Amino acid sequence: MLKGFFNVPAPVNEPIYGYAPGSKERELLKAALAEGRSKVIDIPMYIGNEQVFTEDKGKVTPPHDHKHLLATYSKGTKTHVSQAIDAALAAKANWESLAWEQRAAIFLKAADLIAGPYRYKLNAATMLGQSKNAYQAEIDSACELIDFLRFNVSYMTEIYKQQPPVSPRGSWNRVEQRPLEGFVFALTPFNFTAIAGNLPSCVAMMGNVVVWKPADTQIYAANVIMQIFKEAGLPNGVINLIYGNGPDIGDVIFSHADFAGIHFTGSTGVFQDIWKTIGNNIHKYKTYPRIVGETGGKDFILVHGSADAQVSSTAILRGAFEYQGQKCSAASRVYIAKSKWAEIKELLLRDLATLKMGPTEDFSNFINAVIDEKSFDKLAKYIDQAKKDKGVEIIAGGNYDKSKGYFIEPTVLVVDDPKYTTMSEELFGPVLTVYIYEDKDFDETLEIIDNTSIYALTGAVIAQDRYALDKATTRLRNAAGNFYINDKCTGAVVGQQPFGGARGSGTNDKAGSMINLLRWVSPRTIKETFDPPKDYTYPFLAND
């Protein structure tokens, strides 16, 4: 075995391609989109060394063109879940004993494969399966996932380097970071391919084995991620990819003695149910499971009377409506000083009128479809109720159509009541609610923002007045885990803004940082004494 203290390549953020007309990347991405639409593939589960197909099939259709079939996928049963756990545990000994630099090399290679030969295939899969436009796919499934892989390798080495600062003469103190004892369950969402790739891979990077279930609406891109991991040299059984009924999968996972942790992104309700189940089953486990989760958000933008109107309007539009408001960080409630409202309203409505909505394959569309019919129906219900409620004015949008795709117009509500339903409940779609406050009531508005929602994921304040910025930053310190000054409340970048929130938004373990990786190891302290004592007595025992 090779010996050495190895330095890994210094991570830098992956450059974002522009996909401008006439560019090579635009041509290649359009070709990948056409290739994806030209055939129907059958997606397997990946369990151990096998690709597993079943007779029970699910369908993958583009949210913006739901009559077009992209793929079928094999639904698993409880038996398949047990097989995935067995495969993970069978792979565990060899994987955790593999030198860390060999693990690092696999995921660094995966990053280069995404940056190179798989970039357009993975972006196209995200655009088709999750209805993201070219830019939103690029910053997600290419750049962010690449960044996760490269930066996590660097964070891993920093963790391993952390050692006790003192070893007195005659002894040597050291710490090793062990993988968790058992397997980890990764449960990933539809809205970010990067999250779907990061949640299982960062756990595996630290020497753990994983059972991974993605959201059904993200399976099309998840399959490509698994192909990339396999080509990068990930051994069989280290990450096992399964699909199926959530409660059935949970019944097996959370009852297993070797369950060691969950890495989760999804809804608050599901996460709370999982936590409750783990608590009820705590006596069954060999070790206390690690519970790491990022859930919902009711993210805010606060506009002070000193704010720049154009900065405010742009931050609101991008923060609320990029990827149809389906980012955990998306702005869904905005508080605007009365003195700025007329100017911001004019700019916002002007820009909203220029947004095109339609399929992702047409690169001129800023707005695409929401993820599925369930989401569409939920959003339509909120919009219909807003049309009936007194004290609510719809100043933009308000229309929707699911005949071809699940399209909801970017909708802006202005409300008289700062505690109105859409100011407090998570909608997860292109519906923004605005409350206009009196400039003199800035302090009161800070209190309202802090107490309106159970969530605390992201937030932003826009102002030129430094005293106002300082007051908002201090007063809202618990209202958002990621806080932005004079910017939108979305767009966290790996290596720059570690992401996560507290309160109802999760455990705030900060994906994209060393903090998260520390959750997937269990340290062991080792003290070695070179010349140990041979007499039990101490000097104080001697007679005077």
Q: Active-site residue numbers? A: 294, 328
Q: Are 49 and 83 in contact (CB under 8 A)?
A: no
Cα dihedral sign, 500-502-503-507? positive
**158-163 own/partner pairs: CB under 8 Å, 24+ apart:** 158/514, 159/514, 159/517, 159/518, 159/521, 160/100
Backbone angles phi, psi at 209, to 5 degrees: -115, 150
Q: Tally the C-alpha atoms within 13 A of residue 23's C-alpha that lie toward its C-beta.
A: 11
Q: H or E element: which one contains 115? A: helix 100-115
Q: Report angle CA 37, 43, 44 to the nearest 5 degrees.
A: 170
Quote the CA–CA distance of 263 and 480 in Å, as a whole number: 21
Distance CA 270, CA 275 (A): 9
The residues that bridge with 435 in the sheet, in sequence order, are: 335, 415
> What values do phi and psi take at 257, rounded to 5?
-60, -30
Task: For CA atoms 108, 109, 110, 113, give the dihedral sign.
Answer: positive
b/e string for 408-437 if b means 16 or more Cβ within 10 A? Answer: bbbbbbbbeebebbbbbebbbbbbbbbbbb
Burial class (CB in 10 A: 0-12, 13-18, 19+), 369: buried
Element (H, E) at 213: strand 209-214
Measure the N-to-C terminal CA separation of the chain; round to a whole number of Å.
Answer: 58
User: Minimal CA–CA distance to 95: which of 12, 19, 175, 203?
Assistant: 203
Structure tokens at 6: 């190895």
Residues 6+ apart with CB under 8 A from 404: 64, 65, 66, 67
Residues 128, 360: contact at Cβ < 8 Å? yes
Instruction: Please provide the size of the chain in residues.
Output: 544
Instruction: Give the helix/strand (H/E) hosting 538.
Output: none
Give the residue from 16, 301, 47, 328 showing the smallest Cα distance to 188.
Answer: 328
